[in-house]
Chain A
Amino acid sequence: MHVRLRWRVGLAACLGVVLTAGAAQAQAAGGSPPDARALLSKMATLLGSTPRLSVTAHASYDAVQPSGQKIEWHEVRTLTLSRPNRLRMEAEKSNGARSLVVFDGKDISTFDEAGRTYAQAAQPGGVDETLVYFVRDLGMRLPLAALFVSRAAADLERRVTSVEYVEKTGILGAPAHHLAGRTDSVNFQIWITDGDQPLPQRVVLTYPNAPGQPEFRAQFSAWNLAPESADALFTFTPPAGASKIPFAAALPRYGAATSGATAKKGAKP
């Protein structure tokens, strides 16, 4: 009887060990995935709180032609920002058109190399207000600007309606978490570097409500969280012979009353 009891206790202990080990193995192999929202928030917090950064993005997007055919356009952008109020972006499109955007804390300037023209607007304030003013009010392009405002984490928390963990992968070069999420009008995928510097490696945005469901893609490289921040980098001096022209969004609407048609000032980020 005593021996039988020992047997039972031993058997139960063995079974317990086997079940526990099995569960741990399942967890490690493909059990509950990491919290996707927490990963996204960690990345946005890092981007939003880093005092200085520079990064290069090889980006492309689809333009659906009237015929329905999709054309993929490419561009390379290098962004350097120094909080609170310095920003520089160099861009080159696939057709060779190069442009420059410089914010020096007082003015936002943009220069087109081929046309030897530049536009400039007074913009006192910080990087956040300037990004909003440049993109929303002046109607200029600065893709993924929402990732570079200091409140990026709060913005994403509010705007992302769902986000799921897809997989962990090393296919892009460094181990990364692949996430898929949605805002109210955009589906997105993002690959975030695993580790203590959760920087984005790649972003894909899909516009499901637009004809042809075009995509925007960006592959990030050369992340630097302590780049050179010499004043000269954030100073725009109009090149010799360059002409100053107005921002198109700041022109009065042709054929409409001029009041209220100009770009509104005073961004509310």
Chain B
Amino acid sequence: MTSRLRSVVSATGFALAVIGMLASDADAQRGGGGRGGGGGGFSRESPAANGGLSSGSGRGTQGRAAAQDRGATAGQSQAGQSRAGQTGENQAARQESRASAQASRQQYGASAQSSRQEAYDDQHWDQGKGLAIAATGAAVVGTVGAVRAASAPPPVAAQPSEFTTAPATPPPAAPAAPCENPTVVPSGGVSYARCGSAWYTQAYGANGPTWVQSAPPPGS
């Protein structure tokens, strides 16, 4: 009786272990998460992802900050000069002249800074600045997609003519909708998805298709 009980317990334990392993394997195969994320919820975002010879987090940014600091220092210095001049004769005239000169210098400084920035961006075009525009400007909701991707249906097989090489890894799930059962509204050739009061549009970002929060479709 005791040995039969032991056998039953052992068999149950073994079965549970096998089921656990299978479930874990299935999870691993489904993994990959959203297009901006990776398996296990790890992020793929990185300044190194762009493989650029310049980096937005590099000296360019520091240089811009330093230029702004220099501008601030110059402004403070000019303010100091203004204060010192308040005690002399023809104070109003001098102040007006200085204010005008200061405004002119500031305007020139801002314009020069803007020109320098544009020139820097032109020369360092591969620094990955566009990623920031895509990621922050359009409020990417890759995380939501990542959560939902695990339960998404398997993707349709690719047509062989699109790629010249065979895949090394089975493709991941297609990016899922931004929420459960969204209301999809086509407008102007673009599909909008409504989740509660928020609207989303699917768009192509640096890491592939993703859902981004958007304004409501025109006329809605």
State A245–B53 Cα separation when bound (angstroms). 30
Minimum distance in angstroms from B141 CB to a CB of chain A = 11
Q: Of B18-26, B69-77, B98-106, B172-180, which binds chain A?
A: B172-180
What residues of chain B lie closer than 8 Å to A71, measured between beta carbons?
Answer: 38, 42-43
Minimum distance in angstroms from B29 CB to a CB of chain A = 10
Are B212 and A210 in contact, with the CB atoms below 8 A?
no
The contact of B52 among A65, A94, A146, A246, by CB within 8 Å, is: A146
What residues of chain A lie closer than 8 Å to B208, measured between beta carbons?
Answer: 97, 99, 112, 114-115
Are A96 and B204 in contact, with the CB atoms below 8 A?
no
Q: Which of A79-101 contact B (CB under 8 A)?
A: 90, 92, 94-100
What residues of chain A lie closer than 8 Å to B195, measured between beta carbons?
Answer: none
Interface size on A, residues (CB 8 A): 83
Q: Which of B21-48 contact A (CB under 8 A)?
A: 31-32, 35, 38-39, 42-48
Closest 6 CB pairs of A and B: A185-B58, A143-B51, A139-B130, A96-B169, A119-B204, A214-B48
Are B163 and A248 in contact, with the CB atoms below 8 A?
no
What residues of chain A lie closer than 8 Å to B89, measured between beta carbons?
Answer: none
Contact with A along B122-162 (1 / 0, CB 8 A): 11111111111110011110000000000000011011001
State A106–B51 Cα separation when bound (angstroms). 26
Between A156, A184, A255, the greatest number of chain B beta carbons within 10 A of the residue's beta carbon is seen for: A184
What is the interface of chain A, defined by CB distance below 8 A to chain B?
A: 59, 61-66, 71, 73, 76, 78, 90, 92, 94-100, 110-119, 132, 135-141, 143-146, 155-156, 158-159, 183-186, 188, 205, 207-210, 214-216, 218, 233, 239-241, 243-256, 261, 263, 267-269
Between B61, B171, B215, the greatest number of chain A beta carbons within 10 A of the residue's beta carbon is seen for: B171
